[in-house]
Amino acid sequence: MVSASALWWLATLAAQLVAHRPIHWAVAPTHAHALLMSFSFMPMFFAGFLFTAGPRWLALGTMPAHSLLPVAAAWLAGWGAFLAGVHLDPTLAATGLAVVATGWTVFVWRLAQLLRRSRVADRTHLRVIGCACGVGAAALWAAAAGLAAGAPAAVGAALAVGLWWFLSPVFATAMHRMVPFFGVAAPRLDERHPEWLLWTLLALLGLQVPFASGPLANPMLAATALVVDAGAAALVFGLALRWRATQNLRIRLLAMLNLGFVWLGLAFALQAASAAQAWFTGEPNHSPIPSLHALGMGFFGSIQFAFVTRVSAGQDGRAQAIDRFAWALFLVLQAAVALRLVAAWLPATPSLLLAAAVLWAFAMLAWAVRHARWYGRPRSDGRAG
């Protein structure tokens, strides 16, 4: 899905910017882009991760891989219908998204059953993730309903909720749980980041939905957004610097995760800058594109790339999780994010937008093809698995 969505967006941009051919949109292109590039592949990454690591965290038996096949089938069929509907018919797009929402609702129910069966005392992280996934299901249903009703405002609200109350909390919670274990020496559970940090991050993420509901026309709302986003940026940058001082960032996996976290801080900083502009100038109209892409491409993209690469290498029995090829692709991804932000600031230079799409599609396609060759074959170290 990640490579397919990247190639689709590259094709639409190339058709418009290079071939100068108009693209027919039955769904607003901003909504189609946001739904496909954020919600088509990241939740499936969550599902695979939660049904492998989750049972271990909960001290339950291993979940067979084929148990996810119905959810995956609904997911692929739904997004296929949605993609066709984006260019043909909004009802088809809404139907496809409803199929996706159904599959994700089934997954959330199964995750809730795992949590109910577990007797492990420390279930905080999975409970938070489970709640966020439930919000994600509601957001998908709301977006499908908005498409069916021809209500773009409802779709936009569902996207904001899904972004800040679903995707962001899952990534932040997984980082809080997993990052300390990627160090040179794995600490005990009670030596990881304190829980107050998790709750603070979740609160800061949760406050973004009211700020994303529209232009910051109210001076009080703009001032509040400035304080919250500036504080969030300071917290995240401070944690990234502290991590840099305490962890060996010559380990490429740690460097990837650290840089991904820096993108989250930059997303908050860009939002704080927009809020400051709205507050000082009284001009509420500002573009959220730079901060949203710092979050989606930079934070989500980098963390997902690091986690999936590490897990895939481990499943294949490779001693080195991040080799030179993986590191080179990660750097291409970083260049794509940087170009996308510059393109947002220089809208009169569409070639930058196309270049960012080319780099992103190349990184995602090469990454997917490489890992697809590893899956379903014997481990490279000869061990069972």
Query: Which stretch of 15-29, 125-139, 246-260, 314-328 has the lowest confidence by average pLDDT?
Result: 314-328
Q: Is the pTM higher than 0.85?
A: yes
- The answer on pLDDT for 186 being more than 50 is no
- pLDDT per residue as tens digits for the range 221-231: 888 999 999 99
285 or 30, which is more confident? Answer: 30
Res 69: pLDDT: 83
69 or 30, which is more confident? Answer: 30
- pLDDT per residue as tens digits for the range 314-357: 665 665 678 899 899 999 999 999 999 999 999 888 899 999 99
- The answer on pLDDT for 111 being more than 70 is yes
**DSSP-assigned letters across all residues of 174-219:** HHHHHGGGGSSSPPPGGGSS-HHHHHHHHHHHHTHHHHTTS---SH
Contact yes or no for 164/212 (Cβ under 8 A): yes
- The answer on pLDDT for 141 being more than 80 is yes
Res 284: pLDDT: 66
DSSP 324: H
Write phi, then psi, for 119 (nearest 5 degrees): -115, 15
Res 189: pLDDT: 42
317 or 154, which is more confident? Answer: 154
Res 123: pLDDT: 85
Q: How far out from the chain centre does Cα 324 lie?
A: 24
- pLDDT per residue as tens digits for the range 244-298: 776 677 788 888 999 999 999 999 999 999 989 888 877 766 778 999 999 999 9
Once rounded to an integer, what is the mean pLDDT over residues 48-69? 80
Q: How far out from the chain centre does Cα 314 lie?
A: 22
Q: Which helix (H) or strand (E) segment is 368 a member of?
A: helix 350-374
